[in-house]
Amino acid sequence: MSNVLEYTPVDDIPSIVTSLHKSFRANPNRSLEYRLNQLRNLYYAIKDNEELLVRVLKKDLNRPEGDTQLLEITPLYIEILTTINNLSKWMKPTSAKNVDLLYYFTSPKIAKIPLGTVLIIGPFNFPYLTTLAPLVGSIAAGNTTVFKQSEQIPYTSQTLGTILTDALDPKIFQIVQGGIEETTVLLNQKFDKIIYTGSGKVGRIIASKAAETLTPTILELGGKSPAFVTPSVQPKDLKTVCKRIAFTRFANAGQICVSTDYCIVHDSLYDEFVDMMKLVIKELYDVDETNSTKLVNKNAWDRVMNIIRNTKSDVVLGGDGDREARFIQPTLLTNVSFDDASMKEEIFGPVLPVIKYSDLQHSIDNVLDIADTPLALYIYSKSSKEIETISSQIRSGALVVNDGVIHGGLACVPFGGVGESGYGSYHGKWSFDAFSHERAVLKNPFWTDILFESKYPPITKMDLKLNL
């Protein structure tokens, strides 16, 4: 147990969840104005405590203040404001389309109703955006919410928990703090939906537990997201390509679920790409333990360093670190093969393997063999044919051409995985939809019974024809 983070007593957890179930049943249709007020409270709670939130995350992970602003706080504001500005429209029932003439007078509609009580289990690496964006959707949809943050960032979780508890109505929102024991007790409770962001190993545990009570889940699980660099890339654009890839790999010390996990570069560009990437890393990420984001704990440091130590590739930049400081130098690996130690699992650290290819199809097949459904697929190319060849064969949560990661902060597109990288999506309207149930609503006047006589027995062949 952390000396900073106040864990929730495990005996209190069932009653916390029960209280939110009771609260929802007592008021299952909270008004638009109530939901908007809660979202405004959330917005100003973050706004008023912005500097504090940036500071405590730096204390936990040493993340530079500007990175937190860019990667989390600004996208979060956009998320909340987009929801506030559109919630009235999202909540309105919509009329069904292509209604059969026989059912025209039933006025079929689709209504969005709350699911009930939602559990959000957030990660350490993006504790504001990836936990609060789902919370925005849950509140907007009219649910009650249990909020479980990562115990690995104690200062951040304690501070954010206090801020949210003060800002939001306890009838719809409760915090549970803790580690494995507290999370296990939480998962023994009944929820109406669970969203989890983290590793595939834990995601499988949560999905299995949720299946016992037929609880739907959203799982955001990451994976080995590749970046292809094809021969159509022009030499004049190579520095831009390298800058964009370096950002997606080394920001937050590589601890981003949609980071570029490895590059696949055509042999005609390979040497120039490696030379340029070394220059870009030195220019943008010439960091040490004082000004770089830390790995979350020493186990994470050991895992990433073991990848570097066990690689059969060439370590052409970086490769060293400080375990006590949980720091690893931005590391570039070249002459990497698909069976290298760096290709066995998601790296989730500041290490970039670069693979050379000459046969595009062969490389695509290799990608499909090691991780066929990445959370993101990045293609740097000016050839629509190359882009189509790659993207049509590799399923991914997102596809970004000539850039990376940028989709993760947008409220106008869904964010989610496919296959091994997870399922379900959120952000913007997709968050509202994820925590709502689409209920079919029909109202059939009594006078229409003459139109439905054919449904009553005995049913004749003529009755069947009338129903066609």
Question: Over the Cα atoms of the chain, what is R_g?
Answer: 25
**Residue at which a domain ends, from 395, 429, 450:** 395
Q: Is 242 known to be catalytic?
A: no
- The pLDDT score that the predictor gives to residue 460 is 87
What's the pLDDT tens digit per position in 245-293? 999 999 999 999 999 999 999 999 999 999 999 999 999 999 999 999 9
Same domain, 212 and 345: no
Which strand (E) or helix (H) includes residue 437? Answer: strand 436-441
pLDDT for the residue 112: 97
Band of the pLDDT at 230, cuts 50, 70, 90? Answer: very high
> How far is the CA of 201 from the CAs of 81, 204, 208, 250, 297, in angstroms?
34, 5, 11, 24, 18
**How distant, in Å, are the alpha carbons of 56, 59, 370, 377, 424 from that of 394?**
39, 39, 12, 8, 18
Query: Could you tell me if residue 168 is inside a domain?
Result: yes
Shared domain for 280 and 386, answered yes or no, is: yes
Q: How confident is the model at residue 222 (pLDDT cuts 50, 70, 90)?
A: confident
Is the domain of 54 the same as that of 72? yes
Spatial distance between the Cα atoms of 295 and 288, rounded to a whole number of angstroms: 13
User: Domain containing 119 — which CATH number?
Assistant: 3.40.605.10
Total domains present in the chain: 2
Given strand 436-441, what is the order of strands in its sheet?
A: 94-95, 109-114, 436-441
Question: 456 falls in which pLDDT band (50, 70, 90)?
Answer: confident
Is the pLDDT at 466 greater than 90? The verdict is: no
Residue 99 lies in a domain: yes
Sheet strand arrangement including 117-121: 173-176, 144-148, 117-121, 193-197, 217-220, 422-423
Is 356 part of a structural domain of the chain? yes
Indicate if the pLDDT at residue 1 is higher than 60: no
Q: Within this chain, do residues 368 and 249 fall inside the same structural domain, yes or no?
A: yes
337 with 200, same domain: the answer is: no
User: Is a pLDDT exceeding 70 seen at residue 468?
Assistant: no
Question: Is position 141 within any domain?
Answer: yes
28 & 112 share domain: yes
- Chain segment 74-121, per-residue pLDDT in tens: 999 999 999 999 999 999 999 999 999 889 999 999 999 999 999 999
Q: Does the annotation count 257 as an active-site position?
A: yes
Query: Residues 117, 39: one domain?
Result: yes
Q: Which of 257, 263, 346, 386 is catalytic?
A: 257
What would the pLDDT profile of 179-190 be if each residue is shown by its tens digit? 999 999 999 999
Question: Are 260 and 361 in a shared domain?
Answer: yes
Asked, for residue 166, whether it belongs to a domain, the answer is yes
Residue 156 in any domain: the answer is yes
330 and 424 share one domain: no
Nearest to 347 by CA among 219, 258, 408, 246: 258
pTM of the full structure:
0.96
Residue 252: which CATH number?
3.40.309.10
The answer to whether residue 319 scores a pLDDT higher than 60 is yes
**Structural domain contains residue 5:** no
Residue 178's pLDDT band (boundaries 50, 70, 90)? very high
Residue ending a domain, among 363, 395, 427, is 395
Q: Is 42 left (phi over 0), alpha (psi -120 to 50) or beta?
A: alpha
pLDDT more than 90, % of the chain = 94
My answer on whether 286 and 195 are in the same domain is no
Domain that holds residue 125: 10-222+418-441
**120 shares its domain with 23:** yes
Is the predicted pLDDT of residue 73 greater than 60, yes or no? yes
Q: What local confidence, expressed as pLDDT, does residue 191 receive?
A: 98
Q: Would 349 be classed as within a structural domain?
A: yes
Given pLDDT bands bounded at 50, 70 and 90, which one contains residue 2?
low
Q: Are 125 and 296 in contact (CB under 8 A)?
A: yes
Pairing mode of beta strands 331-334, 314-317? antiparallel
Of 220, 242, 346, 386, catalytic? 220
Whether residues 299 and 159 share a domain: the answer is no
